[in-house]
């Protein structure tokens, strides 16, 4: 990591830059979400060093879960090197969010059960359902909270909104607990 730090290696390692940038605006935000792709680049490493909590999303399919496990093993190895160089790896919480979940899909239910047996309470209680309402809202670069309900079939919209509210409520509770307000 020192070779990647730049001219002032002793003062600024690459993985401290995001933390420094966030510290400069910390009074302006309660929560900052950094959505990183599953790759071991500077953004992901810097985000993991700046993070106070980590939420890993995973689609409940065997290939996706196995890919996530392999990625997390590689991430752990690399973060060990970063931690040895002074990186902060202390998180208030780390959880897994099941995404694009289809409750009527037997293999997905088996995979969610498998994940819960492996990761226990680290898997959020509420999964995010697969929904055309969310996909359609994304086409216009909006969230479900921003689009009009009348653009969708009422039951589709309501089901997706309920799932979104449940997931976000659970994440909010984790944040409040970390802040000592839970």
Q: What is the CATH number of the domain that holds 34?
A: 3.40.50.300
**Mean pLDDT score of the chain:** 90
Instruction: Identify the domain containing residue 105 by its residue range.
Output: 2-130
End-to-end CA distance of the chain, in Å? 37
Q: Judge whether 48 and 89 are in contact, CB under 8 Å.
A: yes
Q: Judge whether 103 and 109 are in contact, CB under 8 Å.
A: yes
Structural domain count, the chain: 1
Rounded CA-CA distance 113/108 in Å is 9
54 is a domain residue: yes
**Could you tell me the pLDDT band of residue 1, with boundaries at 50, 70 and 90?**
very low
**pLDDT, tens only, 105-114:** 999 999 999 9
**pLDDT, tens only, 127-175:** 999 999 999 999 999 999 999 999 999 999 999 999 999 999 999 999 9
């Amino acid at each position: 990591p020192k070779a990647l730090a730049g001219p002032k290696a002793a003062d600024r390692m690459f993985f401290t830059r995001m933390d420094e940038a966030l510290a400069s605006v910390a009074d302006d935000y309660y929560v900052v979400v950094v959505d990183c792709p599953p790759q071991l680049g500077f953004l992901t490493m810097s985000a993991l060093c700046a993070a106070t909590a980590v939420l890993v999303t995973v689609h409940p399919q065997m290939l996706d879960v196995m890919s996530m496990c392999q990625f997390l093993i590689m991430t752990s190895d690399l973060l060990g090197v970063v931690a040895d160089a002074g990186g902060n790896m202390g998180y208030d919480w780390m959880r897994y969010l099941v995404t694009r979940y289809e409750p009527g899909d037997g293999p997905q239910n088996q995979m969610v059960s498998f994940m819960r047996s492996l990761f226990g309470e680290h898997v959020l209680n509420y999964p995010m359902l697969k929904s055309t309402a969310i996909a359609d809202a994304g086409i216009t670069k909006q969230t479900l909270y921003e689009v009009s309900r009348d653009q969708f079939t009422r039951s589709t919209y309501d089901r997706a909104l309920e799932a979104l509210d449940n997931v976000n409520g659970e994440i909010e509770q984790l944040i409040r607990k970390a802040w000592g307000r839970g």
